[in-house]
């Protein structure tokens, strides 16, 4: 059985490793509901109990795929979703009460549930004080529509301000052996406030996969085709550095993804990584 960790100070116990569901929307290639459902079934088998999705993942497609699966597997997962990024007509951030409520109601419909366990602000809208945004989320919680409040990619001081209004269940940020910025205060602030830290991309967007990624075979829809770390000359330099780590793992009989995720888990018992 997978180790269990608490999602925030008073949140539910979940598997120490969750599942990020952005890939269900086709960001690495085509979207395939059969593949998504096979992934969810395997996750259940392995003891994964926490799913992370967002409105922006395929404009709700990831949520719809999850909703179709959990209809036949009720109560097996805790679910987190996110809102706050508007893509049409131009990309912007919107944390207004009306927009967040509309987004949340849409997410609940697509997921086929009457509440989600965790609702994140996907990105901060700098025109609205974070205290006001937190107050909006607190009202959703009072209404029973969400179990906890979360923020994605937030600064430590902003988190502290939000927590002065209402406890924050979780904070999400990219974190792995090759993305270490959260160590400059965010992980520590989460620990102090009793907030779970949920690292996304713990296997470095595939760089720490079972085999090294081959950029020549990336699908034309793969968002990594525009990521500087996967473009030359950076990509070849990164492969050389990671090769040493692969040798280290292989010499001990470990897979590269297992090493990468284990390292993240070892950084604190309030960390719940979400590869996917």
Q: Are 4 and 16 in contact (CB under 8 A)?
A: yes
Active-site hit among 57, 99, 157, 175? 57
Tokens of 32: 């395939």
Handedness of CA 4, 8, 12, 14 (dihedral sign): negative
3-state secondary structure of 273: coil
| DSSP states along 103-172 | HHHHHHHHHT-S-BSEEEESS--TTS-HHHHHHHHHHHHHTTSBS-EEEES--HHHHHHHHTTS---EEE
Q: How far apart are CA 79 and CA 64, in angstroms?
A: 13
Contacts of 4 (CB under 8 A, 6+ apart): 13, 14, 15, 16
Active site residue 57: yes
What is the SS3 assignment for 257? Answer: helix
CA-CA-CA-CA torsion sign (158, 164, 166, 167): positive
Classify residue 50 by its DSSP letter. Answer: E
Task: Report cis status (omega within 30 of 0) of the bond before 204.
Answer: no
31 CB-near residues (< 8 Å, 6+ apart): 24, 25, 58, 61, 65
Distances (CA, A) of 214 to 79, 174, 276: 32, 22, 18
Catalytically active residues, by annotation: 57
């Amino acid at each position: 059985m997978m180790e269990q960790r608490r999602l925030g100070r008073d949140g539910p116990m979940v598997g120490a490793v969750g599942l990020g569901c952005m890939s269900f929307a086709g960001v690495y290639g085509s979207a395939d509901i059969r593949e998504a459902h096979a992934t969810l079934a395997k996750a259940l088998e392995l003891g994964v109990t926490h799913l992370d999705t967002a409105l922006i993942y395929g404009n709700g497609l990831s949520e719809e795929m999850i909703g179709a699966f959990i209809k036949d597997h009720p109560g097996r997962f805790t679910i987190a979703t996110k809102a706050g990024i508007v893509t049409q007509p131009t990309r912007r951030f919107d944390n207004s009460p009306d927009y967040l409520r509309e987004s949340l109601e849409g997410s609940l419909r697509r997921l086929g549930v009457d509440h989600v366990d965790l609702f994140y602000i996907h990105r901060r809208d700098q025109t609205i004080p974070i205290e006001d945004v937190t107050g909006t989320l607190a009202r959703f919680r009072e209404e029973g529509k969400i179990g906890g409040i979360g923020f994605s990619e937030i600064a430590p001081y902003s988190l502290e301000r939000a927590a002065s209004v209402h406890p924050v269940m979780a904070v999400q940020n990219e974190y792995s052996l090759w993305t270490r910025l959260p160590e400059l205060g965010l992980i520590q602030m989460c620990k102090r406030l009793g907030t779970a830290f949920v690292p996304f991309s713990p296997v470095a967007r595939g760089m720490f996969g079972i085999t090294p990624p081959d950029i020549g075979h990336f699908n034309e829809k793969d968002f990594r085709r525009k990521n500087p770390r996967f473009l030359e000359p950076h990509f070849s330099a990164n492969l050389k550095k990671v090769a040493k780590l692969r040798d280290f793992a292989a010499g001990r009989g470990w897979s590269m993804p297992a090493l990468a995720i284990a390292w993240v888990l070892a950084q604190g018992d309030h960390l719940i990584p979400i590869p996917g």
